[in-house]
C-alpha cells in the first residue's frame, strides 16, 4: 500500500472536523485504500481502532443495510457502545437508498467523523447538496500517476531504466490493482477489460437504466478512438449513421454525460483566448486511465500522441489544476491550466523530429503576450527550450515536484 501523500496532504486538514469527507472517482482507482490510509493515520495519532465503524456496500454481507433507515438503526446501535468520538467509513455509499438522509442524521446526532466513497459524480449533486449544503468536502481520487506507478513497478523490474518503465506505463496505465498481478501482460489486460465492463454495466447502464447497450458501446468506442480530438455530438451522429444507426445528438450527449458521471471520461471545454470565453461546442474528452483504452480498444502506441496527451491531462488535474483547451484564431493550445492565481500553458507532442514540428509546437505561443509559464512536453531526450518556453521530456515533467 503506497502512501498517496498527494491526497493525504489535502485530506489531513479536515480529519477530525465535522465536515463529511467525500472521495469520488472511477471504480477501483484506490478509494478504499484511501480509507485505510486515513485509519492508519488516525491510529498513529492515538485513536483506538475500536472507535471505527467500516462498511463496504459492495460486500453482500451488508445488503440488508442498503436503505437509509436500516443503516441509521444499525450505526446508532453500534455507536452507543463506543466511548468517545465515532469514526464512520462507508465505501461505495451510492448503493444505499436515500443515504444522504442518514449521513446527515449521523452528522447532527452523533459525535462523529465521517468518510464516504462513491463511484459517481452525481453523488454530490441535487439532493446531497440540499441535505448537506456546505457541510462536506470532496476529493477526486485518480488512478496512479507515473510517480506512484514507479513506486510499485520499479521493485518488480529493478534492472529496467525509467524510460523502459515509462513504456510499460504507456500500455498498462495506472489502475492500482495491477501491482497485485505483477503487471503481467495477459492478466493485466483481462483485469482492465473486466473493470471496463463493470464500470459500463454497474455505473452507467444500471444506474441510468439504459436499454440500448449496443448504442452505448458504439458511442464509447467512438470517444475512445478520438481521445484528445475535438468533436461534436453531430459528428458522432454522422458516424453512427454510416453504421446504420440513427440517433439524435441529444441522446449521444446524454450517454457521454453518463460516462463522465461514472468517471470513465473527462470532458475538457475549449476556451477562446481572444474573446476570453468558454466555447459551447467541440469539447475534448480524455479517459480516466489510458491502460483501459489499451486493453479494450488497443492503439496506445499507434496513436502515441493522444496517449501522451491523456497522461499529461490527468497529471494536471491530479495536481489540482482546472484545465481547458485553448483556441487562438486557427491555432490550438493543448492545455490552459488554472489553480488559484497560478496559470500555465502546456503543449504535448510525441517528438520534435523536424523543424516544422518545432515551429508548430513552440510557435503556438507566439501570439500569447503574457508572462505565465509555457511548456512543450515530448518524448525527446534533448532539452530544446527556446525563447523563454521550457521544453520537458515527458518523464521529467511527470516526475517533477514543481515545474520550473
381-393 confidence digits (pLDDT tens):
999 999 999 999 9
Q: At what angle are helices 233-242 and 213-225 packed, to 10 degrees?
A: 110
pLDDT band at residue 124, thresholds of 50, 70 and 90?
confident
Question: Residue with C-alpha cell 468518510?
Answer: 115
φ, ψ of residue 188 in degrees (nearest 5): -65, -45
pLDDT at residue 126 in the model: 62
- Higher confidence at residue 379 or residue 275? 379
pLDDT value at residue 128: 60
SS3 of 58, please? coil
Indicate the SS3 state at residue 37: helix
Pairwise CA distance, residues 28 & 43, whole Å: 25
Q: Are 321 and 140 in contact (CB under 8 A)?
A: no
- Rounded CA gap, 40 and 52, in Å? 11
CA 334 to the chain's CA centroid: 18
Q: How far apart are alpha carbons 270 and 24 in whole angstroms?
A: 25
- Give yes or no for a contact between 11 and 115, defined as CB atoms under 8 angstroms apart: no
Q: Mean pLDDT, to the nearest integer, of 313-335? A: 95
Which residues on neighbouring strands pair with residue 342, listed in sequence order? 339
Q: Which residues share a beta bridge with 112?
A: 86
Is the model more confident about 39 or about 101? 39
Which pLDDT score is estimated for 251? 96
Helix crossing, 233-242 with 249-261: angle to 10°? Answer: 110
pLDDT digits (tens, 9 = 90+) for 63-100: 999 999 999 999 999 999 999 999 999 999 999 998 98
**Among 117, 112, 81, residue whose Cα is nearest residue 15:** 112
Q: How far apart are the C-alpha atoms of 305 and 5, rounded to whole Å? A: 29
- What is the pLDDT, as a whole number, of residue 127? 58
Per DSSP bridges, beta strands 265-272 and 277-287 are: antiparallel
Whether residue 23 contacts residue 17, with contact meaning beta carbons closer than 8 Å, is answered with no
Amino acid at each position: 500500500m503506497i502512501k498517496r501523500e498527494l491526497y493525504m496532504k489535502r485530506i489531513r486538514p479536515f480529519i477530525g472536523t465535522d465536515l463529511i469527507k467525500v472521495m469520488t472517482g472511477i471504480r477501483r482507482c484506490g478509494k478504499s485504500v484511501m480509507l485505510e490510509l486515513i485509519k492508519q493515520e488516525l491510529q498513529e495519532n492515538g485513536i483506538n481502532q475500536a472507535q471505527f465503524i467500516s462498511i463496504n456496500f459492495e460486500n453482500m454481507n451488508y445488503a440488508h443495510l442498503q436503505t437509509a433507515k436500516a443503516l441509521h438503526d444499525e450505526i446508532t446501535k453500534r455507536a452507543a457502545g463506543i466511548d468517545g468520538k465515532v469514526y464512520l467509513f462507508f465505501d461505495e455509499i451510492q448503493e444505499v437508498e436515500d443515504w444522504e438522509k442518514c449521513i446527515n442524521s449521523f452528522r447532527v446526532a452523533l459525535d462523529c467523523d465521517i468518510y464516504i466513497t462513491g463511484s459517481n459524480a452525481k453523488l454530490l449533486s441535487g439532493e446531497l447538496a440540499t441535505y448537506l449544503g456546505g457541510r462536506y468536502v470532496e476529493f477526486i481520487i485518480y488512478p496512479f500517476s507515473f510517480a506512484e506507478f514507479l513506486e510499485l513497478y520499479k521493485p518488480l523490474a529493478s534492472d529496467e531504466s525509467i524510460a523502459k518503465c515509462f513504456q510499460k506505463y504507456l500500455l498498462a496505465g495506472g489502475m492500482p490493482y495491477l501491482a497485485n498481478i505483477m503487471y503481467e501482460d495477459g492478466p493485466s489486460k483481462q483485469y482492465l477489460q473486466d473493470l471496463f465492463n463493470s464500470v459500463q454495466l454497474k455505473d452507467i447502464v444500471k444506474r441510468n437504466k439504459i436499454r440500448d447497450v449496443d448504442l452505448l458501446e458504439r458511442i464509447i468506442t467512438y470517444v475512445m478512438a478520438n481521445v484528445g480530438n475535438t468533436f461534436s455530438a453531430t459528428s458522432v451522429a454522422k458516424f453512427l449513421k454510416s453504421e446504420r444507426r440513427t440517433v439524435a445528438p441529444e441522446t449521444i450527449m446524454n450517454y457521454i454525460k453518463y460516462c463522465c458521471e461514472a468517471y470513465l471520461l473527462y470532458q475538457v471545454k475549449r476556451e477562446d483566448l481572444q474573446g476570453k470565453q468558454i466555447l459551447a461546442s467541440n469539447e475534448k474528452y480524455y479517459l480516466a486511465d489510458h491502460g483501459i483504452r489499451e486493453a479494450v480498444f488497443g492503439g496506445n502506441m499507434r496513436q502515441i500522441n493522444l496517449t501522451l496527451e491523456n497522461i499529461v491531462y490527468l497529471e494536471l488535474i491530479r495536481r489540482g489544476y482546472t484545465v481547458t483547451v485553448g483556441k487562438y484564431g486557427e491555432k490550438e493550445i493543448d492545455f490552459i491550466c488554472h489553480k488559484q492565481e497560478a496559470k500555465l500553458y502546456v503543449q504535448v507532442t510525441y517528438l520534435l523530429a523536424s523543424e516544422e514540428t518545432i515551429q508548430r509546437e513552440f510557435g503556438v505561443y507566439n501570439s500569447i503576450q503574457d508572462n505565465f509559464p509555457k511548456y512543450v512536453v515530448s518524448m525527446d531526450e534533448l532539452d530544446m527550450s527556446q525563447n523563454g518556453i521550457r521544453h520537458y521530456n515527458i518523464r521529467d515533467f511527470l516526475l517533477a515536484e514543481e515545474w520550473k
